[in-house]
Chain A
Amino acid sequence: MGTFLPYIYLLAALGFILAIKWMSHPSTARRGVIIGELGMVLAVVGTLLRSDVVEGDQYLWIFLALAIGSAIGAPLAYLMPMTSVPQLTALSHAFGALASALIGTVEYYRIQPTGFTMGALAAETLLGYLTTTASIIAFGKLQEILPTRPLTYKGQNIVSLGVLAMTVILAAVMVVSPGESWMFPAFIVLSLLFGILLVTPIGGADMPTVIALLNSSAGVAAAAMGFVLDNKLLIIAGALNGTAGLLLSMIMCKAMNRSFINVLFGAFGQVQTGAAGSAVQRPVRSATPEEAAAILDSASSVIIIPGYGMAVAQAQHKIRELYDMLTRKGVNVRFAIHPVAGRMPGHMNVLLAEADIPYDKLLEMDEINQDFPVTDVALVVGANDVVNPLARSDQASPISGMPILDADRARTVMIIKRGMSPGFAGIDNELYYLDKTLMLFGDAKGFVGSMVKELGSSH
């Protein structure tokens, strides 16, 4: 049996590669999940069959652990509302990384490695522990147990980088020589601490990048474990996840015209003291649901721009009703999705798909931006910085150079918003003060609901 095992692992690796490949399009994606699950089952069964690995009376404990993990994991996946997907993902990262870190810890005491193996083990435990605490903090922020604004103090970056430097130095010492007995526990504590320090100063709207990065680091931790255990399947699976996360976070950074360093250490989105508060109240035009519905009714093309506010208000189902109503009246309704809208990559697409909006109506920024000038109405629901024209015009603005959705180029702009508060970047939005802009003040769900009712009774 033992001689077959490497080939079972090979098949599992093939399953994982095909799983990612088939994720490229919605029509093949579910097949991808199934082949990925098969790969995982093969890997687990293959490992269980290794008589050299598993001692007979340990099967009971193994099955118990598998059962407990499934018993918690399954309801988590099914009962979490779709708006909580970012939190669930953060939690998932924390558990996966914790597993890598604990295994690395056991391996350290079991084989007392130095050299290459210790280097890989240090990478595994460092990334494992830091991803665990960082993901828990990210979860807290997304669940709003912790404040979503960046928490900062003076000299913060120096403290964080100092902790990281100490961690790396300890690791280097242990690579060169077996080291003192206090070193490994200290290394663990510092790794855990660095995870906390890393994410605490990062604000809520930067979570798409952060979650993608933590996804990547959990993957690299698993790959490093593959080096420690001399297991190619772990290396392949970890490398696939590591690059997936890294590439996603690069896409997110590009969509904000910011660098990793700026996201991680820039404490972006702190409350701007003074400037914003002292600004003169400028007049805006506002409209009632009846007026807004009448404008939509007479339009022939509408682009809806959703943002995190739509998720908070759980407005996606009402928006679907609005979409149905307008489509039935012959209005061309489409959705413009900014890459960083929401709290994780692709967040808005999932919510709109949940509300049963066909995915070919969900368009990326590059696909739809040229259509705004020939669009009657741009309806912004809970998005702010991603439609702020200041990104194009004001060099000094914190969002300068960020690619935005050109809502301001539509013939009429309508913005559903609770009040005039600034967005995450803490700056005023020029879009609100344009002559063609109508502010629709109210809760997104309620306001869209009233518009739907109005449209329904209009004939």
Chain B
Amino acid sequence: MNHSSFEFGLYVFMLAALLGFELVKRVSPLLHTPLMSLSNAISAIAVVGAIVILGEKDAPTWQRILGFTALVAATLNVVSGYLITDRMLKMFRKREPGQK
């Protein structure tokens, strides 16, 4: 990564972090647990990096093994993160109990 690209990356990071701060501040404390599992699933975007590592041309075997392990781990994180978030959110209902 060259310098100008690195600098540009820092700008992106700064703006995304500030945006994240503003958005998360607005999340109701009711939903702090699903928020955490959702943001955790999003950060498992490491799948992208893992695919790049595993799919690279002429990569040595040790690289493929680590890439494969990383991809399994990241996928596990993505899938369990999104599913548990959805499972939790399904339970938040406003109606009075008993009225189906």
- CB neighbours (8 Å) of B79 from chain A are 69-70, 73-74, 77
- CB neighbours (8 Å) of A72 from chain B are 72, 76, 80
Other-chain contact of B78, A73, A105, A347 (Cβ < 8 Å): A73
Which residue on chain A has the smallest CB distance to residue B55? A54
Q: Are A239 and B17 in contact (CB under 8 A)?
A: yes
With an 8 A cutoff between CB atoms, is A362 at the interface? yes
Q: Are A346 and B83 in contact (CB under 8 A)?
A: no
Q: Are B49 and A103 in contact (CB under 8 A)?
A: yes
Which residue on chain B has the smallest CB distance to residue A354? B91
With an 8 A cutoff between CB atoms, is A291 at the interface? no
Q: List 21 A-B contacts (CB under 8 A).
A: A19-B42, A24-B28, A26-B89, A33-B89, A40-B82, A59-B55, A62-B54, A66-B75, A69-B79, A77-B81, A93-B77, A96-B81, A102-B73, A117-B1, A232-B9, A235-B12, A243-B24, A323-B97, A344-B33, A346-B30, A353-B93
- CB neighbours (8 Å) of B52 from chain A are 47, 53, 229
Q: Which residues 85-109 in A have Cβ within 8 Å of B in the complex?
A: 85, 88-89, 91-93, 95-96, 98-100, 102-103, 105-107, 109
Q: Which residues 22-64 in A have Cβ within 8 Å of B in the complex?
A: 23-27, 29-30, 32-33, 36-37, 39-40, 43-44, 47-48, 53-55, 58-59, 61-62, 64
Other-chain contact of A62, B46, B55, B85 (Cβ < 8 Å): B55
Question: Which residue of B16, B18, B81 has the most chain A CB atoms within 10 A of its CB atom?
Answer: B16
> How many residues of chain B have a CB within 8 Å of chain A?
84
Query: B29-45: contact bitstring with A at CB < 8 Å (1 yes, 0 no)?
Result: 11111111111111111
Q: Are A223 and B38 in contact (CB under 8 A)?
A: no
Which residue on chain A has the smallest CB distance to residue B95? A358
Which residue on chain A has the smallest CB distance to residue B7? A116
- CB neighbours (8 Å) of B46 from chain A are 96, 99-100, 103, 222, 225, 234
Listed stretches A211-219, A375-383, A409-417, A444-452; interface member: A211-219
Query: B63-100: contact bitstring with A at CB < 8 Å (1 yes, 0 no)?
Result: 11011111111111111111111111111111111100
Q: Are A99 and B54 in contact (CB under 8 A)?
A: no
Q: Are B45 and A74 in contact (CB under 8 A)?
A: no
With an 8 A cutoff between CB atoms, is A168 at the interface? no
Which residue on chain A has the smallest CB distance to residue B14? A239
- Dominant secondary structure at the A interface: helix
How close is A308's CB to chain B, nearest CB, in angstroms?
14
Q: Are B41 and A36 in contact (CB under 8 A)?
A: yes
How close is A120's CB to chain B, nearest CB, in angstroms?
8
Q: Are A26 and B1 in contact (CB under 8 A)?
A: no
How close is B17's CB to chain A, nearest CB, in angstroms?
4
Instruction: Decide: A236 near B16, CB < 8 A? Known: A54-B51, A241-B42, A339-B29.
Output: yes
Which residue on chain B has the smallest CB distance to residue A237? B45
With an 8 A cutoff between CB atoms, is A244 at the interface? yes
**For the complex, what is the distance from the CA of A59 to the CA of B80, rounded to whole Å?**
23
Instruction: Decide: A116 near B3, CB < 8 A? Known: A44-B48, A54-B55, A353-B92.
Output: yes
Q: Are A69 and B74 in contact (CB under 8 A)?
A: yes
**For the complex, what is the distance from the CA of A55 to the CA of B21, rounded to whole Å?**
39
Which residue on chain B has the smallest CB distance to residue A91? B80
- CB neighbours (8 Å) of A59 from chain B are 55
- CB neighbours (8 Å) of A247 from chain B are 20-21, 24-25
- CB neighbours (8 Å) of B77 from chain A are 69, 73, 92-93, 95-96, 99
With an 8 A cutoff between CB atoms, is A126 at the interface? no
Q: Are B42 and A55 in contact (CB under 8 A)?
A: no
